Amino acid sequence: GENVEQHPSTLSVQEGDSAVIKCTYSDSASNYFPWYKQELGKRPQLIIDIRSNVGEKKDQRIAVTLNKTAKHFSLHITETQPEDSAVYFCAAPLSGGYNKLIFGAGTRLAVHP
């Protein structure tokens, strides 16, 4: 069946360091890969997404890279700040359209001052 694997499950960094979270997916037809951030006690919110016609997308300190051949995509956060501490979820489409997504298990990022 379709699957999205996310690693690591927890990540601890010092403020100012970079953080990288990686996801692999199984459906080679997948064409949309969003990343959601969920702060403690709050709802998930989209922070960045990438479509399969590009290999990289940046938004200030956040970037996502996509390797379609290897079927993996990664979230890169540079110059991390304590407010980046949250759980991050990657997702990929389930077949059948209608904006159905399958989410990874999440990465709990802790940024220490």
The residues binding other proteins (CB under 8 A) are: 31-32, 34, 42-46, 49, 51, 87, 89, 91, 93-94, 96, 98-106
Listed in sequence order, the residues at least 6 apart from 17 whose beta carbon sits closer than 8 Å to its beta carbon are 80
Torsion of CA 21, 16, 42, 64, to 10 degrees: -40
Shortest CA distance to 64 belongs to which of 40, 38, 36? 36
Min dist CB 38 to other proteins, Å, is 9
* DSSP 8-state secondary structure symbol assigned to residue 79: S
Min dist CB 54 to other proteins, Å, is 13
Q: Report the residue number, 80 or 104, with the smaller CB distance to other proteins.
A: 104
Q: Report the residue number, 78 or 87, with the smaller CB distance to other proteins.
A: 87
Min dist CB 1 to other proteins, Å, is 11
